[in-house]
Structure 1
Amino acid sequence: MTGQAAIIGGGVIGGGWAARFLLMGWDVAVYDPDPDAERKITAVLDNARRAAPGLYGVALPAEGTLRHADSIAEAVAGADWIAESVPERLEAKHAVYAEIQAHCAADAIIASSTSGFTPTDLQRGTARPGQIIVAHPFNPVYLLPLVEVVASPDTPASTVETAKAVLTGLGMKPLHVRAEIDAHIADRLLEAVWREALWLVRDGVATTEEIDDAIRYGFGLRWAQMGLFESYRLAGGEAGMRHFMAQFGPCLQLPWTRLTDVPEFTEDLVDTIADQSDAQSGAHPIRELEAIRDANLVAILRGLKWADWGAGQVLNLQDRRMAPPKPESFDAPIETIHRAVPLDWTDYNGHMNEAHYLTVFGHATDRFMEIIGCDAAYIATGGSFFTVETHIRHVAEVHAGARIRVRTLCLAGEGKRMHVFHELLHEDGRLLATGEHMLLHVDLGTRRAAPPADHIAEKLGRIAAAHAALPRPEGIGRAVGQKR
């Protein structure tokens, strides 16, 4: 489903909406009186075009067209969806709605990004109240899927269903908030944490960084993949949510928070939450649910490792602490990898995906480059090695959790050329795969082949000379289809 969207207000949220619609193939018109609006939205789009396509396993549709309108009337003409993202002042929103409804189609959906106002607040005094709903997203809109959809009694059910269908077509997760309440669901939870954090800073208990660390290294990771109630269900162990509430529910009366207006801890409340938790998660035995949690956390943490951020940075530092020292002698193949196969490297056949054999060999080559001195500091000076040819033999399967090693032999290292042969081994000694790679040293300024620095050429030549005296493993020089 594609169409024409109008974005009224081009700030952080409005720009994010523009990016989400454009990248999903919608044509978009933006109106914002700010003279810097076009520049700001261009910057948001640059980020979205870089990041969002990587979320999907298929290519995004052809990008829609973007135009900057000179008026609300021009922006909303012909629009199927009108995203209102003006500042959180009710009188300003009402003035905008009056102008929008004077010029838009009667069946267009007007969706407010408001984080606090209810649809009834927004619709009051408007020409067509049922046309206005809340569609509250989260920043960055082009990446985060959640959008809270809230309607009033004046909103036709068909409008809600159409809105949910549009948002689903944009790749989002519409959460239908069934009751009107200030700040909806998510922001009420966020505000509770925010208020408590302000008290902790104000009372000198914690700094802003310490509070952020408590979230990003701890419960924030759990919340990212299981939310609040499912995480607490696991905290109850095999006895589940009812046991957790019996154990920790009375703590609500303790002075653990400044937010002391808590619901009475009654049997009815326990029963309601326990029953809803069973309906939410009861299809999975507790150990299975724990395994699902662990797999999700590994995926999140490995993503953060790639970004070298937050908890991922902690893991990268630990990798460096545990890494073996660089070898001093080269009278044997060099062990460049010793690790376990991660959960996300396996495929539908239950073993390591063929692409990740190349991942392992790529990491082995990176380690070999570090050993010869082509490390991050050297690359920052403008030189590196580029792979120009690769041949992989898949000899045996390997499963998640298996400990693997890579032994690397340098077949040649002279001039601009580096020729390496990797053997991937199970820790029990079985050969799993081999990888043969030809690389050329490149000047990163010209992007052309060039000799490496003298210290790298010397180290590479010394290793190649030492390895020339070693036995040649089977498989060197093999090509696809070549007979043994």
Structure 2
Amino acid sequence: MTTITKAACIGGGVIGGAWAARFALAGIDVAIYDPHPEAARIVGEVMANAERAYGLLTMAPLPPKGTLTFFNSIAEAVEGADWIQESVPERLELKRGVINQIDAAASPTALIGSSTSGLLPSDLQAEMKHPERLFVAHPYNPVYLLPLVELVGGAKTSAATIEKAKTGVAQIGMKGVVIAKEIEAFVGDRLLEALWREALWLIKDDICDTETLDDVMRYSFGMRWAQMGLFETYRIAGGEAGMRHFLAQFGPCLHWPWTKFTDVVDLDDALVEKIGAQSDAQARGRSIRELERIRDENLVGIMQALKSGNGGEGWGAGKLLADFEKRLWAEAGVKEAAPDTSAPLRLLDTRVNAAWVDYNGHMTEHRYLQLFGDTSDALLRLIGVDFAYVEAGHSYYTVETHIRHLGEAKLGQRLYTTLQILSHDDKRLHFFSTVNDAETGAALATAEQIMLHVDSAAGKSAPAPAAVLEKIAAIADGHARLPAPEGVGRHVGQKRA
């Protein structure tokens, strides 16, 4: 398995800076070269947005953040790097010159990816001494959140390089799709260019304005594409007869003069000003950084929704997120030091994100249950009931939950959860959890729960193994000295004292 221990980003703009953030948040040290006088500021702002987005995206334990170090030359930046990502402006001679400098200075075994949106890798590697390790790694903005990267080899790229690249991007939580043949603009940008060309005609011909066009996309097929793409969406449109029926029914319309995408719109000054003015109005005064944060929050919400689909297995980008989180939890492992049982265990720290709140800006009811579920999962990992344990056929299932809502968690509020074991036996685990305001420590919600150890294959309860029971007992013995939490044993509707 390819392990990236150090990355280099040559170019630190919107794409290069986001690549750096993606690497760093995966625990990889990043060397950066960009001659722009404000490169450090730009990358720093991108990194801040990326950290904010990851804080909303997942509660899985990220590895210690990699360092970001700026260098004054390409040669210094690429020294010792396993993966070098070139993200300079989209001009063939410029990119080729930069890649040749990288090739001359980097280790012969280092992978070199280009973020080009459409240039052929064969053209980029034409003058390299080690062309076999050059490939296109074309991401989508924001690179730190959108997980897809198109991997395209040139005429001299080795098959081993592409395989290593696919494994490498998986390490940083991305989906590497291998494009079988090099072609200008690859796959994604070819699709986008066709849509973009038609959109420009619709604006030029005054069919609609930019906001109306965006509304048509985001309220309809945009949502379908997020989880099923184009062909699977149309398969469903064909009904029980499937894709063949859809093609037979709608194929003839391809001969109708519906679109203008084969014609090139003239982007003259008048059209540029028209689109610019409409776009300014659509933004309603929001800055680029503010729009980026809104975009990131929405993407997080979509991916989290997709993560819970397909019976909890996830769908599309949500499944990739679920798999990435599973690996993060497995790699984090359980700390060898015995937990401090002089107080309830502090198991989770988080922040209320935009996907968790209702129209009042308050955290919705099912998110409290999610937090309590994540808290109990943290306890299970602490006692050795991890993913490997569950895959081996045993687990703990929640059989009873009583939640009390004592306060309101609001958008952006920092929270932490605690858990106290109340009692246990060889099958049952009884505990009490609290969601707290991280600033004041005030309890916002509590949950009293009972879990039952089960044999998943047999579908019935079974005694937990001695190793698990020993870890439970070590925590429970300490917690037995603590006072019973306020609210233990309450029933629904019981008046407060």
- The two structures have a TM-score, normalised by structure 1, of 0.60
Equivalent in the alignment of 1:425: none
For residues 422-447 of structure 1, what are the alpha-carbon distances to aligned partners after superposition, in whole Å with 9 as ceiling and x for unaligned?
Answer: 9xxxxxxxxx964xxxxxxxxxxxxx
Give structure 2 stretches of 5+ with no counterpart. 264-308, 320-351, 374-394, 411-438, 452-485
Equivalent in the alignment of 2:336: none
Equivalent in the alignment of 2:87: 85
Equivalent in the alignment of 1:6: 8
Change (3 A) 1:341 1:128: closer
Q: State the secondary structure of the residue aligned to 1:110.
A: strand
1:145/1:173 contact within 8 Å kept: yes
Give structure 1 stretches of 5+ with no counterpart. 262-290, 321-335, 367-384, 398-420, 423-431, 435-472, 478-484
1:346/1:352 contact within 8 Å kept: no
1:53/1:60 contact within 8 Å kept: no
1:6/1:83 contact within 8 Å kept: yes
Pair 1:17 & 2:24 matched:
no
C-alpha displacement of 1:475: 5.6
Equivalent in the alignment of 2:496: 476
Q: Determine which structure has greater relative contact order: mean sequence separation of CA pairs < 8 Å that are 6+ residues apart, divided by chain length.
A: 2
Change (3 A) 1:38 1:391: closer
Equivalent in the alignment of 1:138: 140
CA distance in 1, matches of 2:400, 2:255: 52
2:56/2:353 contact within 8 Å kept: no
The partner residue of 2:443 within 372, 380, 389 is 389
Q: CA RMSD in A?
A: 4.0
2:401/2:449 contact within 8 Å kept: no
C-alpha displacement of 1:127: 2.0
For residues 356-407 of structure 1, what are the alpha-carbon distances to aligned partners after superposition, in whole Å with 9 as ceiling and x for unaligned?
Answer: x46x7656x98xxxxxxxxxxxxxxxxxx9772356465999xxxxxxxxxx
Give, as a single letter, the amino acid of the residue that structure 1 aligns with 2:140: F
CA distance in 2, matches of 1:203, 1:83: 41
Give, as a single letter, the amino acid of the residue that structure 1 aligns with 2:494: E
C-alpha displacement of 1:125: 2.1
1:98/1:126 contact within 8 Å kept: yes
Within 5 Å, give how 1:161-176 maps onto structure 2: 161-176=163-178
Give, as a single letter, the amino acid of the residue that structure 2 aligns with 1:134: V
C-alpha displacement of 1:53: 3.9
Q: Report which stretch shifted further, 27-36 or 251-260.
A: 251-260
Equivalent in the alignment of 2:100: 98
CA distance in 2, matches of 1:121, 1:395: 62
CA distance in 2, matches of 1:46, 1:97: 28
Q: State the secondary structure of the residue aligned to 2:219.
A: helix
> How many residues in Structure 1 have an aligned counterpart in Structure 2?
332
C-alpha displacement of 1:159: 1.0
For residues 119-148 of structure 1, what are the alpha-carbon distances to aligned partners after superposition, in whole Å with 9 as ceiling and x for unaligned?
Answer: 112111222221210000111111110000
Equivalent in the alignment of 1:440: none
The partner residue of 2:125 within 123, 134, 137 is 123
Change (3 A) 1:218 1:354: farther
User: Percent identity between the aligned chains?
Assistant: 47
C-alpha displacement of 1:346: 11
Give, as a single letter, the amino acid of the residue that structure 1 aligns with 2:252: P
- The two structures have a TM-score, normalised by structure 2, of 0.58
Change (3 A) 1:393 1:36: closer
Change (3 A) 1:95 1:239: same
CA distance in 2, matches of 1:338, 1:37: 40
For residues 139-168 of structure 1, what are the alpha-carbon distances to aligned partners after superposition, in whole Å with 9 as ceiling and x for unaligned?
Answer: 111111000000123111111111111110
C-alpha displacement of 1:201: 0.2
Q: State the secondary structure of the residue aligned to 1:111.
A: strand
CA distance in 2, matches of 1:147, 1:196: 25
C-alpha displacement of 1:226: 0.9
Q: State the secondary structure of the residue aligned to 2:442.
A: strand
Change (3 A) 1:202 1:345: farther
Equivalent in the alignment of 1:225: 227
CA distance in 2, matches of 1:57, 1:393: 19
1:395/1:433 contact within 8 Å kept: no
The partner residue of 1:47 within 32, 41, 49 is 49
CA distance in 2, matches of 1:144, 1:176: 17
1:109/1:159 contact within 8 Å kept: yes
CA distance in 1, matches of 2:368, 2:65: 35
